[in-house]
Amino acid sequence: MAGIFGTDGVRARINTGPMRAEAVVRLALATGRWFADNNHSEGRNANPVVVIGKDTRLSGYMLESALVAGFNSIGISCRLLGPVPTAAVSYLTHSMRADFGVMISASHNPHHDNGIKLFGPDGSKLADQIEEEISELMQGSIALAEAEKLGRARRIVNSAQRYMEFAKATFDTSLSLAGLHLVVDCAHGAAYRTAPDTLGELGADILAMGVAPDGLNINLECGATAPKVMARTVCDAKADIGICLDGDADRLILADEKGTICDGDQILAALAMDMQARGILQGPVVGTVMSNLGLERCLADAGIAFERAPVGDRYIAQRMQETGSQLGGEPSGHILLPHLTRTGDGLIAALQILAIMARSGRKASQILSSFTPVPQKLVNLKDINKAVLEHPDVKAEMAAVTKELGEEGRILLRPSGTEPLIRVMVEALDEARLDAAMQRLVAALKTVSA
């Protein structure tokens, strides 16, 4: 993708590169100019309107101020939501008839990183082409507003409550969570109030974790990228299920009542089986190149088509739209349910799993064990230029390993879209062959980059 955008918006360490205050003002100017020129209806708002949400990072205050300065100077009025999940920005952009939306978050990254995600007026993430055009606008002169046409900014005091009512509306009104004991880990992030409160209002008994954000502890040894503490707590508390969200609550990882951690693939399988049984599954289930081979085989056995998209929920969403799919996601816990919400939403995905439990009376372990994952390993290699993936020696080794594994395994080498890493993934039915393949691929990459 051209310009400063990655697979999920703009992201970097705070006060470096695109996450410097002056760079964010520039991004706001270019984004505001694009929407003012291309997507604004004069009869809708006197000034174009943007809604802005953020997670709980300390740097969110700085970036929010920089965005407001840039947007107001271009003639864009700002509606500030405060700390809310990414999905709340998506929903409220559409609900409030805004011209576009912005979420300030680096998702699952540590506090020292931050990022900016952009949404169109329908609440969907922007297409690559629009992001490329915004990047190009940043390079040139940008016309500012006349003094009498400057934008205004005001805070929306009930944004979290509006989103909570939306989330609850996706849960079958004939069902209740009464009698269910839940552990909910909010990663000290954007859902630290909305997730426990929503689940509690639906009747569940809540043991909340990760609900004391201090600006620096977001995702710190907690949340969807570190679910082991949550899983142990489920066992200790004899809970029915554990729910883990990440910093902006667009990811979901679960633990069953036995403390077994269940990733996005198991969640996808459970939802697919339930939707098929209820006759509401449309199109294929869409995963990614990282989705476990066990998921693909499980769905095939059930007569459910499965397709793979590149990593990133935007690419899953694109393929889902092309195929008419109603269910997609990735192992990291992004679950897309377009008949319920316009973007990945960890809380709404969790509510659908809880609805299965409430309807069926089955335990989480029975619902979240549709398949046995094919052994898979992932190695992240730092400080290696992604150009090595095009080196003839690396390509030759990849081809040789792929041939040896045949239909009993898969490999994937790719640069991360959100971090400076090369990711190496190997799947194989036989773990000894898996380990050998991983060693060969890592050695090839390190040798070429030395």
3-class secondary structure, 268: helix
Question: Tokens 């056995």 correspond to what residue?
Answer: 301
In whole angstroms, give the CA distance from residue 333 to residue 371.
17
Catalytic annotation present for 107 = yes
HSE-up (13 A, CA, CB side) for residue 374 = 22
Q: Are 327 and 284 in contact (CB under 8 A)?
A: no
Pairing of strands 241-245, 205-209: unpaired
Catalytic residue among 77, 107, 124, 325: 107
Helices (H), 202-325: 228-237, 264-277, 293-301, 313-323
User: In what helix (H) or strand (E) does residue 422 lie, and over which residues does it extend?
Assistant: strand 421-428
Ranges of beta strands (E only) in 62-201 are 77-83, 100-104, 113-119, 153-155, 181-185
Q: Are 100 and 31 in contact (CB under 8 A)?
A: yes
DSSP 8-class letter at 161: H
Nearest of 307, 263, 302 to residue 285 by alpha carbon: 307
In whole angstroms, give the CA distance from residue 76 to residue 80.
13
DSSP 8-class letter at 409: E
Q: Are 207 and 230 in contact (CB under 8 A)?
A: no
In whole angstroms, give the CA distance from residue 14 to residue 429.
42
In whole angstroms, give the CA distance from residue 304 to residue 38.
40
Q: Which residues are catalytic?
A: 107
